[in-house]
Amino acid sequence: EQQKLKRLKQTKAVTLDGTAIELHANIEIPEDVAQSKAAGATGVGLYRTEFLFMNRRDWPTEEEQFLAYRQVAEAMKGMPVTIRTLDIGADKQIDPESARTCANPALSLRAIRLCLAEPQLFHAQLRAILRASHYGKVKILIPMLCNQGELRQTMHLIDRAKQSLRDEKIPFDELVPVGGMIEIPAAAIAADVFARKLDFLSIGTNDLIQYTLAIDRTDDTVAHLYQPLHPAVLQLIERTIKAAHKAGKPVSVCGEMAGDARLTRMLLGFGLRQFSMHPANILAVKRQVLQTSLPKLSLMVRKILSSPDSEKIEPLLNKLNA
């Protein structure tokens, strides 16, 4: 089975009707690039930079970050590398000792909220990412956007980081794309506005499920209620994809759902053309892509999207995959 899958490594991910699908890798450290390339990933769709910041006492310097980001940008040899700015807090604590000192860490000062509260920390990371953009096809991805004010502030800080590099005559890609994670229900509902203002969107289903269903993704006592197939979750995903298409912007899914081959056809039916996942899942998802005819999906996908009950969605999904 594994051997059969391995043979697909060089095969292009194209549906039976000839639509090309991008299958990108999620990585956490530069060393993950090797596994991504071995799996045939055509880009890094999510570089979770927080691992550079975890399990240590100090912040990594701009230079240390730059070296890590440049290593990935160069290793991917012109393929896109989507670097997500710091997403620390909640399930990703820097210091496990200080974890859960507030009542609701997932609703607290995390990700972009933390970066906007710590502009010097953010400035150093933005400069490091921008500097790396000179060495490959780098994109910037902002986690946990919720409102337009955060986006405005972020764009302002990116402009400031760019200006500081120009002043020092340090090269970077002036046209580096800036995208946003859609992982808060409010952002999914307002996806049209985010799609117009950003260069691309990436749907973080792990957090989108958590926040839509009010289920702590780290809490075992409610793990059985963490339902990727809840109709509300599916509707938010589909709506975000449609909003991006309408604005003419690329959109991907980079949460765990993107790496679940059982969900590949459904997501293709929602209009998704770009997936980012753990490298270990790429070949299984590619096999699904290769065996799928997009025009044949529409009837069943419409049934799935109009179903009010995740238990009724399971059999529909089985039919879709049959």
Which residues carry out catalysis? 254
Partner touching 254 among Mg ion, ligand PEP, none, CB below 5 to 8 Å by kind: ligand PEP
- Contacting residues toward Mg ion, per CB under 5 A: 183, 204, 207
Residue 204 engages ligand PEP in binding (rule: CB under 6 A): yes
Residue 321 engages ligand PEP in binding (rule: CB under 6 A): no
217 is known to lie in a ligand binding site = yes
Which position among 206, 218, 227, 307 is part of the footprint of ligand PEP (CB under 6 A)? 206
Residues contacting 7, CB < 8 A, separation 6+: none
Which position among 32, 150, 173, 183 is part of the footprint of ligand PEP (CB under 6 A)? 183
147 is known to lie in a ligand binding site = no
Residue 216 engages ligand PEP in binding (rule: CB under 6 A): no
Which position among 39, 176, 191, 254 is part of the footprint of ligand PEP (CB under 6 A)? 254
Residue 87 engages ligand PEP in binding (rule: CB under 6 A): yes
Residues contacting 93, CB < 8 A, separation 6+: 54, 99, 105
The CB-of-305 to Mg ion minimum distance in angstroms stands at 23
183 is known to lie in a ligand binding site = yes
Q: Which span (37-45, 94-102, 201-209, 220-228) binds ligand PEP, by CB under 6 A? A: 201-209
> How far is residue 222 from each of residues 90, 92, 218, 219, measured CA to CA in Å?
17, 19, 9, 6
Residues that bind ligand PEP (CB under 6 A): 46, 48, 87, 183, 204-207, 254-255
